[in-house]
Amino acid sequence: MADDETPSEHRRGMGTSRLEAFSDGVFAIAITLLVLEIGVPAGSSDDLLGAVADQWPSYLAYLISFSTIGAVWLAHSAITDYLYRANLTLQRLNLLLLLVVAFLPFPTRLVAEYIREGDAERVATTIYGLNLFLVSVLVSVVWRYAVHAKLLRPDADSEEIQVLTRRLTPGLAGYVVLIVLGLFAPTLAVLGYLLIAVYLIVPAWSLRAHRP
Amino acid sequence: MADDETPSEHRRGMGTSRLEAFSDGVFAIAITLLVLEIGVPAGSSDDLLGAVADQWPSYLAYLISFSTIGAVWLAHSAITDYLYRANLTLQRLNLLLLLVVAFLPFPTRLVAEYIREGDAERVATTIYGLNLFLVSVLVSVVWRYAVHAKLLRPDADSEEIQVLTRRLTPGLAGYVVLIVLGLFAPTLAVLGYLLIAVYLIVPAWSLRAHRP
Amino acid sequence: MADDETPSEHRRGMGTSRLEAFSDGVFAIAITLLVLEIGVPAGSSDDLLGAVADQWPSYLAYLISFSTIGAVWLAHSAITDYLYRANLTLQRLNLLLLLVVAFLPFPTRLVAEYIREGDAERVATTIYGLNLFLVSVLVSVVWRYAVHAKLLRPDADSEEIQVLTRRLTPGLAGYVVLIVLGLFAPTLAVLGYLLIAVYLIVPAWSLRAHRP
Amino acid sequence: MADDETPSEHRRGMGTSRLEAFSDGVFAIAITLLVLEIGVPAGSSDDLLGAVADQWPSYLAYLISFSTIGAVWLAHSAITDYLYRANLTLQRLNLLLLLVVAFLPFPTRLVAEYIREGDAERVATTIYGLNLFLVSVLVSVVWRYAVHAKLLRPDADSEEIQVLTRRLTPGLAGYVVLIVLGLFAPTLAVLGYLLIAVYLIVPAWSLRAHRP
C-alpha cells in the first residue's frame, strides 16, 4: 500500500512541478518586461505632464497585454490544478504556448507605437490580434491534449472538466471577430481587446459565479 | 477522516502555490529591473567619479523603489502565510496588485530623470506617489478580501489578523500626505518616500517587536 | 524507521529544490529576454508590414534560440527527475551550464543582425554554433557527473539511465557538423540549427515514443 | 503529538519557502541580465570577428559577475539549508543582501566600459570591488544573524555551523586587499576578482573536499 503510493506520488510530481515553475517564470517575466517599453522622450522637462499624457497608447497596450497574460496565467493555473502528471508531448505543447506568450511584448510595442497612424495601425493591430489568437488556441490545445491523453487527476469531476473546456473556447471566436474588424477599424479592435482583457481580469463578474 | 483531509489538502494547494510562485516572480523581476535604469552618459572617462556621483537621483530612486517593492513583498508573504486557499476573485485582485507593482519602474525612472527640474519634478513626484499609493491600497484590498471571503487558515488567530490589518493601513495615510506635500515641495516628498521605505526595510524597529 | 526517513528526506531536498528553482529562473529569463532583441526601426509607419517582414532573421533567431533553450530545459528537467540529491560539484557544473545558457542571447542577436552579410554571417554563425555546442556539452557533463557520483535516486532504472545518456549525446555530433558546415555555408548551418530545434520541440516524433 | 507537529511544520514553512523563491528569482534575474550589457557597435559587419574580440572586457566582466553571483547563490542555498524558520529581521537583512546583489549589473557595466582607461578604470574597479565587498559582508551578516537568533534547524551540527561561518569569512579579507590594490593597479584587481570567482565556481577544488 505504502509502496503503491510512493511511486504514484513521484510520478505525480515528475513533470508538473518544474513545468509549473518554469511556466510561472516565463509568464512573470513576459508580464513585467512590458513596462520597459514605456518611457517619455528625452528632454521632456518643459511639459512633462503633457509628455506623460501623450504616452496613453503605451498605457493602453500595457493594460491589455498585462491583462491578457494574466488571464492566460489564470487559465494555465486552472489546467495544472487538474493535471496529475505530464508527458513529453504536453511539455512541448506547453513550450509552444510559452513561445507565443513570450513573443507578445513585440506586437504590444508595435501597437503602442503605431496606433492612430493609418495603415501602420492596421498592420500592428492585426499582428497583435493574431498573437493573442495563437495564445488562446494553444491554451486550448494544451488543455484538450491533457484531457485526451488522460493526464488529469483521477478524481477530477467530468462536469468541471467540461466547464473548463467551455470557458477556454469563446475567447477564440472573439479574437477572430476582432482580427477581421481590425482590418477595417483598427482602433475599435484595440478597444475590443481591452474589453476582453477587462472582462477577463476585473473581478466583478466572478463575484457571483465563483463565491466558494 | 483521511478522505476529509485529502480534498482539503488539495483545495489548500489549489490556488496558493502558483499564486505565490507567480507573484514572487513578478516582484523579483520588478525589483531587479530597476537597476537597468542606472547608467552614466557615454564617454564619461574624463571624470567618471563625477559622472557616477551625478547619478545620485538614480541611486535614490533605486533605493526607494527597491525598499518599497521589498516591503510590499514582505506584506504579501505575510498575507499568503495566513491564506488557506484562493478563489478566482482573490487571484484577480492579486493580478491588479501585480499590475501596479510591475508599473513602478516607469515612474521611478521619471523621478530619477526629472528631480530638481522645477515643474517636471512636481509631475514626476506626484505620479510616483500615486503609484506607491495604489500599490498600498491594493495590498490592503487583497488582505481585506481574503479576510472577508473567509480564505484564511481556520487556525489563524483573530488578534493576529487584526494586527496585520492595522499594520497594512497607516502607509495609506502617509502616502496621501506625501502626495499633497509633493505638489508644493516635491524634493521633500521624495525624502518622505525614502523615510517610509527605510522605516519599512531597516530591521532596527522590528528587533524589539518581532523577536520570536 | 521514522528517524531514518526524516534525514534522508531532508538530504533529498537539500540541494535539489533550490537548484531546480534557480535553474528554472535562469532558463525562463534567458528564453524570455530573446524577444527584447526584436524591433522595427523607428519611423517605419510608411510601410510597417514591410518593416515587420524585414525582421525575419530576428524571428528565425528567436525561434531557434527559444526552441534550443526549451529543449535544454526539458533535458534538465529529465535530469533532475532522476536526481536524489546534489553535491557542491554538481551545483558548480550546473552553474557553468547556466553561464552558457544565459550567454545565448548575445550570439542570437549577432545572427539576427549579420545574417546574409558575407563574412560577418560566417563569424556570427560560428559563435552561435559554438555556444549551442557548449550548452549541449555541459548538459551531458552534468548528467554524466550525476550518474558517476551516484547522485541519482536508488530506484532509478539502469536501462532508463542509459536511454537518457544516449538521448543527450547525438546533439553534440550534430552541432560539430553544423559548426564546420557554417564556415562554408553559414545560412545552411542556421537552417540546420533550426531543424535540430524543430526536431527537439515539435511533438510529432514523441507522440509514438512517449505515449505513457 | 500530531498537534505539536502541525504548528511547527507550519512555522518551518512560514517564512523560508517564499524567502527562498523570491531570492532565487532575484539571483536568477541579476545573473541573466548581465548579458544584456554585451553587444558589438552597430555596423560592425566589415570586421565582425575583430568587433567581437574587442568586447573582451565585457566577457571578462560577465564571467566575474556571473561567477560571483553564482557563488553568493551557493552560499545563500547553504544558509537556507540550515534555516528552520525566518523572522522579520532575517527577511529584511535578506532584502538588503538582494539590494546589493541586484545592483551589481551597474558596476559590472562600468568595469566593462572603462577598463584600460586610466583614472576611469580606477574608479570603476573600486566601485565594483566595494559592491562585491558589500555583497560578501551581507551574506555573512545574514548567516551570523540566523545563528545568533537561533533560526537554524535544531539538528544542525554545531561543527558544520562553524565550518560554514569560516567559509563565509575569508572572501571579505580578499575583497579588502583587492579594493586597496585596485587604487594602484586596477587591472590587477580585476584579475584578482576573476581569480576569486574562478576559485569559487570551478569544481576542481571541491572534488576532494566535498565528495559525499
> CA nearest A204 in B: which residue?
B89
Using the predicted structure, report yes or no on whether residue C206 has a pLDDT greater than 70.
Answer: no
All residues of chain D having their beta carbon less than 8 Å from the beta carbon of residue B34 are 102
Torsions phi, psi for A185 (to 5 deg): -135, 80
Question: So what's the pLDDT on residue B201?
Answer: 63
Cβ proximity of B122 and B111 under 8 Å: no
Mean pLDDT of B190-211: 64
Residues D81 and C113: their CA atoms lie apart, in Å, by 45
B23-78 pLDDT tens trace: 999 999 999 988 888 888 887 888 899 999 988 888 988 998 998 899 889 889 88
Per-block mean pLDDT, blocks of 10 residues, chain D (212 long): 36 68 93 87 85 89 90 88 86 92 92 84 92 91 90 83 76 86 90 82 47 40
Question: So what's the pLDDT on residue B202?
Answer: 61
Name residue, grid cell 497594512: B168
User: Do the chains contact at B92 and A202, CB–CB below 8 Å?
Assistant: yes
Q: Residue-wise over A118-128: b if at least 16 C-beta within 10 A, else e?
A: eebbbbbbbbb
All residues of chain A having their beta carbon less than 8 Å from the beta carbon of residue B14 are 81
Name residue, grid cell 490589518: B165
Subunits adjacent to chain B (3 or more Cβ pairs under 8 Å): A, C, D
Residues B205 and C14: their CA atoms lie apart, in Å, by 33
Predicted confidence band of residue B15 (pLDDT cuts 50, 70, 90): low
Using the predicted structure, report yes or no on whether residue B155 has a pLDDT greater than 50.
Answer: yes
Q: Which residues does residue D151 pair with via DSSP β-bridges, in sequence order?
A: none
Highest mean pLDDT among C9-13, C137-141, C163-167, D8-12: C137-141
Which one, of C72, A202, A61, A73, lies nearest residue B26 by Cα? Answer: A73
CA distance C156 to chain A (A): 11
User: Do the chains contact at D33 and B36, CB–CB below 8 Å?
Assistant: yes
- Helix, strand, or coil (residue A137): helix
Using the predicted structure, report yes or no on whether residue C101 has a pLDDT greater than 90.
Answer: yes
Contacts with D, A 95-154, CB within 8 Å: none
CA distance D126 to chain B (A): 10
A77 touches chain B (CB under 8 A): yes
Which one, of C59, C98, C61, C54, lies nearest residue C76 by Cα? Answer: C98
C36 touches chain D (CB under 8 A): yes
Q: Name the residue with higher pLDDT: C193 or C37.
A: C193
C37-96 pLDDT tens trace: 888 888 788 889 999 998 888 898 899 899 889 988 988 988 888 888 888 889 989 999
All residues of chain C having their beta carbon less than 8 Å from the beta carbon of residue A150 are 212
All residues of chain C having their beta carbon less than 8 Å from the beta carbon of residue D210 are 87-89
Best probe of the C interface among A3, A33, A65, A92, by most C CBs < 10 A, is A92
Mean pLDDT of C16-30: 92
Question: So what's the pLDDT on residue A40?
Answer: 87
Using the predicted structure, report yes or no on whether residue C9 has a pLDDT greater than 50.
Answer: no
Residues D37 and B27: their CA atoms lie apart, in Å, by 22
Grid cell in block for residue B155:
487556525
Predicted confidence band of residue B170 (pLDDT cuts 50, 70, 90): low
Best probe of the C interface among A29, A94, A97, A119, by most C CBs < 10 A, is A29
CA distance B48 to chain A (A): 22
All residues of chain C having their beta carbon less than 8 Å from the beta carbon of residue B28 are 25
Which range among B198-202, C173-177, D23-27 shows the weakest confidence by mean pLDDT?
A: B198-202
> CA nearest C21 in B: which residue?
B21
Stated length of chain C:
212
Mean pLDDT over the full length of chain B: 82
Question: So what's the pLDDT on residue A170?
Answer: 60
Q: Which residues does residue C152 pair with via DSSP β-bridges, in sequence order?
A: C83
Question: So what's the pLDDT on residue B141?
Answer: 92
Name residue, grid cell 594602484: D184
Residues B103 and A110: their CA atoms lie apart, in Å, by 19
Question: So what's the pLDDT on residue D170?
Answer: 59
Which one, of B84, B107, B90, lies nearest residue B23 by Cα? Answer: B90
Alpha carbon A109 to its chain's center: 16
B101-135 pLDDT tens trace: 999 999 998 998 888 777 888 999 999 999 999 99
A165: number of Cβ within 10 Å: 13
Per-block mean pLDDT, blocks of 10 residues, chain A (212 long): 36 68 93 87 85 89 90 88 86 92 92 84 92 91 90 83 77 86 90 82 47 40
Question: So what's the pLDDT on residue C142?
Answer: 92
Residues 6+ apart with CB under 8 A from B58: B37, B38, B112
Q: Name the residue with higher pLDDT: C11 or C169.
A: C169
User: Do the chains contact at A96 and C24, CB–CB below 8 Å?
Assistant: no
